[in-house]
């Protein structure tokens, strides 16, 4: 399956692909997304461009979009489009961008619509990397922290725990991400249970690609 990946940093995308391959149970063929990305805001802005490029210029069968939640609301399936949480939720915003962009696409004869999956690491992808190691690094703990303003960890402390430094080099970030993804892919159900909204919903959607 030809799958493109768009995340906040291209150095996270190797780890994300390992997880996607684990969900699908087979290796995917990478499709490059030739746009610069630097954080959540850039992903939201360039997503329409990426979708159109992949649709018209490649044979990509699917696109996975991954972002960090940072301090934004954690996505919930019951989000109401009229609520403030819905408007601030990054997953909901990305789904809206996808729907709007897909409405502008011209169908290409003989090619099915490209499948799109959206995932959100809470509060950052380093929390996924700590799954099974740090029992406090979970979606539930972060949701409680957002409500109480008492944080068991920060995004900086997560980076330090994963990389040993708060500002890892590109090589270190890529290498450690790959290592942790290979560990996590041995038991993805555990990652889904600890991160049900950000990873669990992504995994469910990706599995439905083959339904």
* Length of the chain, in residues: 211
Cα 90 to Cα 43: distance, rounded to the nearest angstrom: 10
- The gap from C-alpha 138 to its chain's centroid, in whole angstroms, comes to 15
Cα 159 to Cα 136: distance, rounded to the nearest angstrom: 15
pLDDT average, residue stretch 165-186:
95
Least confident stretch, 105-109, 120-124, 179-183 = 105-109
Is the distance from CB of 85 to CB of 73 less than 8 angstroms?
yes
For residue 119, the 8-state DSSP code is E
Residue appearing with tokens 């959607």:
205
| 155: nearest Cα among 71, 32, 39, 46 | 71
Is the distance from CB of 47 to CB of 53 less than 8 angstroms?
no
pLDDT digits (tens, 9 = 90+) for 152-172: 889 999 999 999 999 999 999
| 48: nearest Cα among 10, 97, 1, 15 | 97
| Residues 6 or more apart in contact with residue 201 via CB below 8 angstroms | 75, 77, 91, 119
Q: pLDDT exceeding 70 applies to what percent of the chain?
A: 95
Question: Would you say the pTM of this structure is higher than 0.85?
Answer: yes
pLDDT digits (tens, 9 = 90+) for 117-156: 999 999 999 999 999 999 999 999 999 999 999 998 899 9
Q: At how many degrees (to 10) do helices 170-184 and 155-163 cross?
A: 80
Residue appearing with tokens 């950000």:
198
pLDDT digits (tens, 9 = 90+) for 58-100: 989 999 999 999 999 898 777 665 555 567 899 989 988 999 9
Residue 32: pLDDT above 70?
A: yes
Beta-carbon count within 10 A of 140 CB: 14
């Amino acid at each position: 399956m030809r799958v493109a990946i768009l995340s906040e940093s291209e150095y996270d995308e190797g780890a994300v692909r390992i997880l996607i391959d684990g969900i699908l149970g087979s290796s995917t063929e990478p499709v490059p997304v030739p746009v610069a990305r630097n954080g959540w805001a850039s992903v939201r802005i360039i997503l329409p461009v990426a979708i159109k490029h992949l649709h018209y210029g490649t044979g990509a069968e699917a696109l996975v979009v991954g972002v960090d939640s940072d301090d934004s609301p954690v996505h919930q399936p019951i989000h109401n489009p009229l609520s403030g949480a819905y408007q601030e939720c990054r997953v909901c915003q990305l789904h809206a961008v996808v729907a709007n962009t897909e409405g502008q696409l011209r169908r290409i004869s003989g090619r099915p619509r490209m499948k799109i999956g959206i995932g959100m690491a809470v509060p950052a992808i380093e929390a996924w990397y700590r799954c099974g190691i740090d029992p406090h690094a979970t979606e539930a703990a972060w949701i409680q922290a957002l409500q109480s303003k008492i944080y068991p960890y920060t995004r900086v402390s997560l980076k330090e725990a994963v990389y040993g430094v708060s500002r890892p080099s590109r090589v270190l970030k890529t290498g450690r991400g790959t290592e942790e993804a290979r560990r996590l892919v041995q038991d993805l159900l555990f990652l889904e249970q600890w991160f049900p909204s950000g990873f669990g919903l992504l995994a469910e959607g990706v599995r439905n690609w083959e339904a």
